[in-house]
Structure 1
Amino acid sequence: MQTTSDLRGHLFPDTRVFTGYAAPVRIEGEVHDLEVVGTIPRELDGAYYRNSADHAHPPLFDNDIFLNGDGMVHMVRLENGHADLTTRYVQTTKLKLERKARRALFGAYRNSFTDLPEVAGQDNNTANTAVMWHHGKLYALKESGRPYELDPLTLATLGERDFDGQLQSKTFTAHPKYDPETGECIAFGYNTQGVADKRIEVYTIAADGHFTRTEAFEAPYSSMVHDFLVSRNYIAFVICPMVCDWERVQRGEPYWHWDSTKKTQIAIFSRQEGVKSIRWYTCPVAAMQTHSFNAWEESIEGSTVLHLDHFVTGSGWLSQFPDIHDPDAHERPPFGERWSFNLSDGQDWFEIRRLINHVGEMPVIDPRYAMRRATQFYFGTSNTALGPMLPLGPKGPPFTCLGHYDETRDTFDFYYAGPDSSPEEPYFVPRSADAPEGDGWLMCMVGRRAENRTDLVILDAKKLSQGPVATIKFPCRVHEGFHGTWVSAKALSW
């Protein structure tokens, strides 16, 4: 099998994914005492972790996508107003085999039929999407594989984990949900045996890491189930027409295609009763949930109404995967929506309304308000009234701003990162355990594209437009990433 890289040599392709600010960084190391502009709040004692897809080797195919990079975790340790940076690759089976060979051996995203013969049957998990802190352990997550445990102090890889045999699936979500009242983690896996199927497994994991419930249900078709929602009493899955056809995969085509002829369907079931209580709802339009804010319930005139707050688009992630019917289709921007389900009326119907009438993605809330009503919403966005859009990147238009929507006042506030600067996903850290909702800080990586460098900014979450209270300057660029988390020094026992 002759690959594109055989013809190109040991070079990265000259494509949007591998050039400019998106180019692989591949640097592992430590920087002690980063430069700080402003003052890091003394209450911020702990570590911010985030995951990224950073190709360690030139890919087998020139048209490789952003999502197929190797997991590189970045940690910024904050203590007494100082900041230290650590960057480490997750030592996956894939990375170890490719490092030994000094070249790429695995092919297209999640498609083992495009791998080289010498790695046939080997795990292609890149562990590149998110980080999870639960039961005192840190994990790197990718929804196509099992978690990899990392040393939270050094980022050294401790190994792939199945939670002492409790996880039978070969896959585990990159978007687990955490119950702030019970300490439970609610998680799931799809395509659980590594091939396209309709089975979805759901897990309830106690605060000590013990699986208290594992069960499964079938979706209408094999769908990308990237995120889901959990309220105090219910679990909801949005099954969208980003579909996998195994015959296409075997032919070497992309793992996912957007098929707008299929209906978006929503599964809702009780956390207490489990999947035996599942009910299905049909969305009136083809829609994809990109990422979720929160789910919550309220009683209205004696009826239980479940609200799902999330970003939704009318297309799939066409920057990464094609439209099965229209290869020239363009990705549509996501908007914040609230889907409301009357669980008491027995009808296959729900109300859709625009919650955030502003293009956005990478949504977060104050994590103390997960699974109950939240009113403060934060997200990545752009605002041309503050600055121009940036050139298209490998995962779509880069953000130029962070947004804050205060539902109680119906107001927006924006942090504009500056010319040639691109904020990534924010993360909310409360000022204290008993602070009011939204009283705290947003942490966010910001790409300084003109300088080919990265900052970590800390903003007062109630005063985004006033700019950072602290800007932690990296002396180099770290790769654009996806999802992160904050862990206090107390939790880490530092």
Structure 2
Amino acid sequence: MDGTRYVQADNYRPVSRETTVVRPEVAGSLPPGLNGTFARIGPNPLGPPDARRHAFEGAPMVHAIRIQDGRTQWYRNRWLRTDRVCAHLGELPTPGPRHGLSDDAGDNLLQHGGRVLALGDGGVLPVRIDADLTTSARVDFDGTLPAGFSAHPQTDPLTGEMFAVAYCHEPPYVLYVVVGADGRVRKTLPIAVKSAPMMHAFSLTERHAIFYDLPVAYDPAAAAGGSRVPYRWRTDHESRIGVLPREATDPEVLWMDVDPCYVFHPLNAYERGDRIIIHLVRHPRVFDREPLRPGESAPTLWRWTVDPRAGTVVERQLAEQAQEFPRIDDRYKGSYNRYGFAVAMSPCGSGGYLAGPGLLRHDLALGRTETHDFGPGRHGGEAVFVPRGPDAPEADGWLLSLVHDAASDHSDLVVVDTADFTGAPVARVRLPVRVPHGLHATWIAG
């Protein structure tokens, strides 16, 4: 087994206990403008590893590092208190309603309406976590959410409203949801679909919502076999995207065909004249030959140019590098952006589907890509961008990523200054523990 394959596979094993580290060591200098908490979530199954378990299945765990005034305050990790975790730990269940196949809200973290929420797929309700990572309650937005929610809502940086598309295996529709800045749902609209697709994410522009109805859909046979993530590649399901006005009251979506593929994560979408420009990471195929992990084809960066008047989509590949977890400067969500970031993934088959050996920075205007290399034997996950200040130019600031080092079997929080993207990190928060590769990360300011 080659070194890359060993490193990647080894850091997917879960950790077995919750830990708190006070003032972890820092190599280099943390920027004084970084005041907040970096947090990352992902599956951390209870019990021994099981090759039959889906990659996205398992008790969610949050890892977080608190930074203040150029110093670290703490690192801690805590399981999200799902029903299975509470039973395992002998604790009382988390309060709040339930919805969906499981309560594993372990895909994403987001701050909205003064609350930090853990989010999941398949109709899972959000779970509120407190500043010390204590699980507080399941959230239905004060009783205004009629069903489940989404792993990847989009927040409008101008209005503070949150938009989402929630899917579940039971109804013949997905639910378009708008949550006000006050944390209460102000709009829901059912959008008819067939075969219950896994609509993991969607895109938002200034005037439209973009739906990805692609050939990964609910598989009753997998559900009957006990899978908690029973979604597979379905050749009988269409491959199309839909465009809906953001404030539509009629669920009439303009659907347009695209080549068969799957999109976990769009980079951004915006409008230019009468066209919609979408940048996204496209997987040619997932959950087919490898039904338990999304590593069977190389995901790459594409541009889709949508002409709603003609009902057409022009698809163009922009980069050859395998990549995932695209991010932008969130101040530009839904509007024109020049720069995008992503994790440079290892080749398909090397065991790396949640982490890679470096970061990419795309200049979408010039068609140029640069690489930040983590170094030999080091693999990192999704990077969070933090602007240098509220008025900083686009993508001027810092990227933060959790990086595992094979030699020490420990992890660092790496801080990269975008002013020297290909150079050495300005700081590494050295953790005396290992953080397994996970899913999405967020920066909780202040």
Please indicate, yes or no, whether the TM-score normalized by the shorter chain is above 0.5.
yes
Alignment of 1:425-444 (within 5 A): 425-444=382-401
Matched, 1:321 2:291: yes
Identity %: 26
| Partner in structure 2 of residue 270 of structure 1 | 245
| Partner in structure 1 of residue 276 of structure 2 | 306
Q: Which of 70, 73, 94 is the aligned partner of 1:81?
A: 70
| Partner in structure 1 of residue 48 of structure 2 | 58
3-state SS of the aligned residue for 1:50? strand
1:413-445 per-position Cα deviation (integer Å, ceiling 9, x unaligned): 111111111010011111111111111111111
Task: Check 1:267–1:274 CA distance in 2 against 1; reply closer, same or farther (3 A cut).
Answer: farther
| Partner in structure 2 of residue 175 of structure 1 | 152
Q: Which of 167, 172, 176 is the aligned partner of 1:190?
A: 167
| Partner in structure 2 of residue 487 of structure 1 | 444
Distance 2:280 2:327 in 1: 10
1:185-204 per-position Cα deviation (integer Å, ceiling 9, x unaligned): 1112111xxx4443101111
Task: Check 1:135–1:34 CA distance in 2 against 1; reply closer, same or farther (3 A cut).
Answer: same
Name stretches of at least 5 consecutive residues in structure 2 with no aligned partner.
1-5, 92-98
Matched, 1:210 2:184: yes
| Partner in structure 1 of residue 302 of structure 2 | 337
Matched, 1:26 2:1: no
Name stretches of at least 5 consecutive residues in structure 1 with no aligned partner.
1-15, 102-120, 324-328, 384-388, 490-494
**Amino acid paired to 1:351:** V
3-state SS of the aligned residue for 1:96? helix
Alignment of 1:84-483 (within 5 A): 84-100=74-90, 124-144=102-122, 145-151=124-130, 153-169=131-147, 171-191=148-168, 195-252=169-226, 255-283=230-258, 285-299=259-273, 304-318=274-288, 321=291, 331-345=296-310, 347=311, 349-382=312-345, 392-393=350-351, 396=353, 398-483=355-440
What is the CA-CA distance between 1:460 and the residue it aligns to?
Answer: 1.1
Contact 1:188 / 1:200 at 8 angstroms: preserved in 2? yes
Structure 1 segments of 4+ aligned residues over 6 angstroms from their partners? 16-19
How many residues are treated as equivalent by the alignment?
Answer: 431
Distance 1:446 1:462 in 2: 20
3-state SS of the aligned residue for 2:321? strand
What is the CA-CA distance between 1:320 and the residue it aligns to?
Answer: 5.6
3-state SS of the aligned residue for 2:440? strand
**Amino acid paired to 2:332:** Y
Task: Check 1:18–1:456 CA distance in 2 against 1; reply closer, same or farther (3 A cut).
Answer: closer
Task: Check 1:86–1:307 CA distance in 2 against 1; reply closer, same or farther (3 A cut).
Answer: same
User: What is the TM-score when the length of structure 2 is the normalising length?
Assistant: 0.90
Task: Check 1:19–1:309 CA distance in 2 against 1; reply closer, same or farther (3 A cut).
Answer: closer
Distance 1:122 1:228 in 2: 19
3-state SS of the aligned residue for 2:110? strand
1:34-77 per-position Cα deviation (integer Å, ceiling 9, x unaligned): 11111100000111111021112237x65112211211111111
What is the CA-CA distance between 1:249 and the residue it aligns to?
Answer: 2.2
Contact 1:242 / 1:256 at 8 angstroms: preserved in 2? yes
1:307-364 per-position Cα deviation (integer Å, ceiling 9, x unaligned): 11110011014586269xxxxx97110111111111223x3x2111123332211000
Task: Check 1:319–1:424 CA distance in 2 against 1; reply closer, same or farther (3 A cut).
Answer: farther
Distance 2:292 2:434 in 1: 30
What is the CA-CA distance between 1:261 and the residue it aligns to?
Answer: 4.8
3-state SS of the aligned residue for 1:357? coil
3-state SS of the aligned residue for 1:456? strand
1:216-267 per-position Cα deviation (integer Å, ceiling 9, x unaligned): 1111331111111111110011111112132552254671221235331111
Distance 1:296 1:55 in 2: 38
What is the CA-CA distance between 1:392 and the residue it aligns to?
Answer: 2.5
Q: Which protein has the larger Cα radius of gyration, Structure 1 or Structure 2?
A: 1
Distance 1:17 1:224 in 2: 30
3-state SS of the aligned residue for 1:482? coil
Distance 2:90 2:221 in 1: 32
Contact 1:139 / 1:149 at 8 angstroms: preserved in 2? yes
Task: Check 1:48–1:18 CA distance in 2 against 1; reply closer, same or farther (3 A cut).
Answer: closer
Task: Check 1:18–1:417 CA distance in 2 against 1; reply closer, same or farther (3 A cut).
Answer: closer
Distance 1:62 1:266 in 2: 34
3-state SS of the aligned residue for 2:183? coil
Distance 1:334 1:443 in 2: 22
Contact 2:339 / 2:395 at 8 angstroms: preserved in 1? yes
User: What is the TM-score when the length of structure 1 is the normalising length?
Assistant: 0.82
Task: Check 1:310–1:330 CA distance in 2 against 1; reply closer, same or farther (3 A cut).
Answer: closer
**Amino acid paired to 1:260:** T
Task: Check 1:41–1:390 CA distance in 2 against 1; reply closer, same or farther (3 A cut).
Answer: farther
**Amino acid paired to 1:129:** D
Distance 1:99 1:305 in 2: 53
Distance 1:274 1:474 in 2: 50
3-state SS of the aligned residue for 2:84? helix
